[in-house]
Amino acid sequence: MTTYGTLDPIGSGKAKNFFDNAQNMDYWANSPSLVEYPDRFGVKRTTINGMQVKFSAQMVSQALQFNTQITQQAAKFDTQIKQEDMDWRIQNESQRHAAAAALQQQALNYYSMIQASGFQVAGIYAAGLEIKDYNKVVVVDGVVYKPQPTTAVPFVLTGIPATDLPKFYAIGDGQLKTQMALPNGLSLSGHFTGGNAAQALTYVTPELFGAGKTGDDTGAIQNAIDFAIANKISTVMGCNSYNISNTLLIAGAGVQGVEVRLMQLKVMDTFISPKDKNGKVEDIGLWNAPPTVRIGDNASNMANINLHIDYIDGNNRADGVANFGFGYSLSHIHIGYAVNCIKVVASGKHLWPNASIRFTGFYWVNNWIGMVVENSTSGTSPIVEGWKIEICFMAANRYGGIWMCKSGHYAQIRGDLDFNGRWLSVGRLSAETNLGTMDGLKGLRITNGTTQSEFLFRYTYQGRIYVVLAEGRNVSIGESTGSSYKAGDVLTCTTMPAVSLTLDGVSVCADNPSGTNFFDILHDFDGQPFSAMTIDCGYLSTVIGSMLHTNDIRFHNSFNRISSSTNGLAVGNSGEVMSLHNLAHSDDPFLNLSRKWVNIDRKIYQKEHKYTGSEVLATVASSDSAYLDVLAVHDLGTDKTADEGSKYRIEIGSNYQGCGASFDIWLKGEGNVSVTKRTMLNRAFKFRWVEILGSDGVTPVGIMLQLRQQAQSSINFLINIVRAN
């Protein structure tokens, strides 16, 4: 056997056999070249097993390479052996589990076969009762037990539950129901606080009542609401999109209230249609659309109602939320995004005051009208007042954003409104006959002989009468041909022939020079003593209607510099001139103020009060020669355009009957004085003007009015001096 160099003995049998079978070793050992050129090949000698063998360096290198290859093959072979061993173990374990599962399934099949054969009640638990087979059951405190598979039958009960029941197990859900109903029943399902399911149920969902299964979720949502109210569960939580074909009702909540939160509510094409009193289906209009949600009952005025709908689509068939019966108060209604509703919020069908309700939302757009606030006509004081209305942006609603229909006193409106009322024509009347007979009536049709529109309301503003008409199309400037009506048209009512209205002007949205005016809030308070509203909006285009001067109104827009007012008083400011306006009478200012002047654009009415400049009271004792100084007058430099001097009007009165005087004085400089328009009443006194000299005793610095009298021991004189130029 030959070993190359310093190689360790090869542990692999394959390597050893290869060396033992090498047949060219003798050739290498006896090669003449190794003897003839020992220095060239670096011949070495070694003895193994008594045999002398010659090696060259090249042979050693070849042997090392070959040994490396053999070692790698050996390692690969060992890895393959280990993997095969692992695969076998895995397969064996899998087969073992499969066998166990098969045995378990056989056992289950066996027990199922027994159960399928039908249980037979052996009797009520008692000592001596014999259970003869596995399908025999015994009833213990209302819970049914059957023998464990390991219990030998027949089995005779001892009457001691602690001894017998471990050999049985409960069947059916009786025991589970009993245990879950215990005070710590939820702990059976891993709930960390214990308690039972009824105690943990703080809200219900429409899905618990079948929502999402049929495509019409009306019944499921209604059942969830009714269940929550009846069982005093605080909240109905719907986190999906729901389709409804009928009105949802919130009723019976009393003052305990309820919270209903629905993510999305859509009115179906099959939603109920409005019907007249004879049951005939009507065309949908402003006043007959059924609501998606109705709040109220005939038991009491509800409170603490928290209705939260993130998105509502009325499909141009339904109102959003409406009241009826005794309605609701002291509640919060939130409609985030409202679209295609007839009225997003409606009122007027209630029997009791519905007051102090908060309405919020994010974006109400493309509805017929955002909100109609009105009293009812029947019941016990069925008013609407004190509503808090805050919608982030109410825009592009056909007939306006908010219509305060002779009700809603003390309302508070906030948010932004724009682009509303584009289907409205507002006519200014030059003459009218029987217009008042139309007040409070709904659905009246007005025509000019060509086009009919619905009469909404009339209002008086700055002494002129206007009528608001709902047209059947968009009539705003830039989006249409404009109003169907014009100045000179005579309007009549289709159902009230005695009514006649003559127009001398018509306004529609976007008809101002900038094309930016829209009818956002309709303030229908004609004939009312006040409305007492607070309107505080960021951007709002126009508020139209009567009695605006009874409100505190503040908003801004891009075309009206005097939009804000308090009880009709508006303040404008151009930066150079501040103006005060009484908007109840005119848009023109009654007072303008600049840095240099005050301009009152009306006459000054002082009633019985006098006009006073500067007044001096002087008591003059009797004297036959001495004059008393009473008033110093100067030629002032203020309020002059030219070098015109100063002119004054002097009025002198006294406590001595008939003793007084009036006259004008004109000063040019300090020494030049002229007295004109002199009038003396009772010459019991005298007056004169004397120069006031400066400290040099020569230069005049003014004039002094002096008085003397000798008619009484003393007379009180009141001198009123008013500058005239």
Give pLDDT tens digits for 267-282: 999 999 999 889 999 9
Is residue 317 predicted with pLDDT exceeding 80?
yes
Classify strands 402-405 and 369-374 as parallel, antiparallel or unpaired: parallel
Q: Span 170-174, mean pLDDT?
A: 71
User: If pLDDT is split at 50, 70 and 90, which confidence band does 321 have?
Assistant: very high
Q: Taking 80 as the threshold, does the pLDDT of residue 128 lie above it? A: yes
pLDDT for 176 equals 66
pLDDT at residue 71, rounded to an integer: 74
Question: Is cis: bond before 154, omega within 30 of 0?
Answer: yes
What pLDDT was estimated at residue 113? 44
What is d(CA 421, CA 396) in angstroms, rounded to the nearest whole number?
7
| 113 vs 327: which has the higher pLDDT | 327
Give the C-alpha distances (Å, rounded to integers) separating 490 from 283, 425, 432, 446, 482: 28, 15, 9, 10, 18
Name the helix (H) or strand (E) containing 70. helix 57-116
The model's confidence at residue 263, banded by pLDDT at 50, 70 and 90, is very high
Report the C-alpha gap between 185 and 177 in whole angstroms. Answer: 9
Using the predicted structure, report yes or no on whether residue 33 has a pLDDT greater than 60: no
The least confident of 194-208, 369-383, 545-559 is: 194-208
Q: Per residue, what are the HEC states of 192-236?
A: CCCCCHHHHCCEECHHHHCCCCCCCCHHHHHHHHHHHHHCCCCEE
The strand pair at 412-418 and 388-395 is best described as parallel
Please tell me the predicted confidence (pLDDT) of residue 110: 40
The pair of structure tokens assigned to 22 is 């090498």
Instruction: Please report the pLDDT score of residue 105 as a whole number.
Output: 60
What angle in degrees, to the nearest 10, is found between the helix axes of 57-116 and 13-20?
Answer: 140
Residues comprising the chain, all counted: 725
Strand-pairing partners, residue 45, are: 54
Q: What is the mean pLDDT of residues 104-122?
A: 57
Contact predicate 192/171, CB 8 Å: no
pLDDT digits (tens, 9 = 90+) for 355-364: 999 999 999 9
Confidence of residue 99 (pLDDT cuts 50, 70, 90): low
pLDDT of residue 191: 64
Per-residue pLDDT averaged across 350-356, rounded? 97
Q: In percent, how much of the chain has pLDDT > 70?
A: 84
The two tokens of residue 450 are: 């060509």
Confidence at residue 470, expressed as pLDDT on a 0 to 100 scale: 98
Average the pLDDT over 332-345 and give the result: 98
Say how many Å lie between the first and final Cα of the chain, rounded.
Answer: 145
Q: Of 165 and 173, which is predicted with more confidence? A: 165
Model pLDDT, residue 117: 46
Out of 78-92, 158-172, 472-486, which region has the weakest mean confidence (pLDDT)? 78-92
Residue at 636: amino acid letter: L
pLDDT for residue 19 is more than 80: no
Of the two residues 339 and 697, the one the predictor is more confident about is 339
| Residue that the structure tokens 């006649």 belong to | 500
Return the pLDDT at 80: 74
pLDDT score, position 119? 76
Tens of pLDDT along 362-403? 999 999 999 999 999 999 999 999 999 999 999 999 999 999
Share of the chain above pLDDT 90, in %: 68
Q: Is the pLDDT of residue 662 over 50?
A: yes
pLDDT at 547: 97
pLDDT attached to residue 81: 73
23-32, 168-177, 606-615, 661-670: the lowest-pLDDT one: 23-32
Q: For residues 565 and 62, what is the distance between their CA atoms, to the nearest angstrom?
A: 109
Pick from 42-46, 433-437, 674-678, 714-718: least confident: 42-46
From 216, 222, 273, 267, select the one nearest 248 (Cα to Cα). 222
Whole-angstrom Cα distance, residue 603 to residue 699?
43
Lowest mean pLDDT among 163-177, 333-347, 444-458: 163-177
Confidence (pLDDT) at 598: 94
